[in-house]
Amino acid sequence: MNAIGRYLGDRAVPRGIKVLLWLVAGVNLALLAWTLLSSFRSSRALWSDPLGADGLNLGGYARAWHAADFAGAFISTLLVTSASIVVLMALATPASYVLARSTRRSAAPLVTYFAAGLALPVQAVLIPYQTLAQGLSQFMNDWVTGWWDDRISLVICNVAVSMPFTVFVLTGYFRSLPSELEEAAALDGAGPARAFWKVMVPVARPGLSTVVVLNAIGLWNEFLLASVILRDPTKFTLPAALNQLNSTMQYSSDWGGLFAGVTILVAPMVVLFFWFGRKIMDGMTLGVTR
């Protein structure tokens, strides 16, 4: 029995898990390749031979780009994602550092509070966020500025939704860094704020880069909040524009254009992930093993 247990624990189970992971990765890569190939095909060719290849036909991309105003949606997505990341990191990085180095009793419960936010699905707070965004828009229009862009409300909600994950990961990463770095900075005459910006932030760059890339991928593809907060179609982000494209093209059955729209949406994040994939893995493992 011991030999069987060792065989299962040392070989059979790890190999089975490895095969399962490769199977899942293979299925996802196959679906990604099929989506890319289908984006270059006509709807008639897709219906007659769903798994075939007809060459390089860019007509679907042109139809998708103009039918759903993907140019404007691309700019909106870029603005919303960039602004969300800047605000999120400006708030979460110093907060995580303070929580990681604080010796107060309230620090640990606060980290637990942020960790509990990871278990809260965005669907549970969708209506409160929508009500908040509408109230903020009306307040700014009636009492403060006389105008308001719903994309600002979307940025605020994106920051609130992404904050638990960011603070939880960065707190663990800052805890893994040696406190001797701050002590050496203090001996050189640096105060706490200067030690943080000049010493700790550069040292924590792998962890910060990992969090930025993971949040950028999530925010770029975010759909639920955008669909309920953005009311003007000219300010739609790419996922909301793709949903609008799906609503219009399902009647014209232009599946090639729809696949082209999906490719336009996911291609930048796929490239970003493969570009920073090694750094993401290094940042995650450094935070765990240090």
Per-10-residue mean pLDDT for the chain, 290 residues long?
70 86 92 86 77 75 82 92 96 94 86 85 88 92 90 95 92 88 84 88 89 92 92 91 81 79 86 77 59
What 200-204 contacts at long range (C-beta under 8 Å, 24+ apart), as own/partner pairs, is: 200/97, 200/174, 201/93, 203/177, 204/170, 204/173, 204/174, 204/177
- Decide: 176 and 290 in contact? Cβ < 8 Å: yes
pLDDT tens for each residue of 103-139: 888 888 888 888 888 888 888 888 999 999 999 999 9
Alpha-carbon distance 160 to 155, whole Å?
A: 9
How open is the CA angle 154-166-286, to the nearest 5 degrees? 150
pLDDT tens for each residue of 216-246: 999 999 999 999 999 888 999 999 988 888 8
- Decide: 150 and 97 in contact? Cβ < 8 Å: no
**Which pTM was predicted?**
0.85
**Sign of CA pseudo-dihedral 205, 226, 155, 110:** negative
Alpha-carbon distance 123 to 114, whole Å?
A: 18
Alpha-carbon distance 219 to 82, whole Å?
A: 9
Give the pLDDT confidence score for residue 284 in this predicted structure: 64
Give the pLDDT confidence score for residue 91 in this predicted structure: 96
Collapse the DSSP code of 260 into the 3-class scheme (helix H, G, I; strand E, B; otherwise coil) and give the result: helix
Residue tagged 């400006």 (tokens): 90
Give the pLDDT confidence score for residue 285 in this predicted structure: 64
Give the pLDDT confidence score for residue 153 in this predicted structure: 95
Give the pLDDT confidence score for residue 1 in this predicted structure: 58
3-state SS record for 72-91: HHHHHHHHHHHHHHHHHHHH
Give the pLDDT confidence score for residue 286 in this predicted structure: 60
- Decide: 46 and 60 in contact? Cβ < 8 Å: no
Residue tagged 């006389």 (tokens): 146
Give the pLDDT confidence score for residue 225 in this predicted structure: 93
Alpha-carbon distance 76 to 281, whole Å?
A: 29
Residue tagged 């969708």 (tokens): 126
Token pair, residue 257, equals: 């254009």
Alpha-carbon distance 262 to 243, whole Å?
A: 10
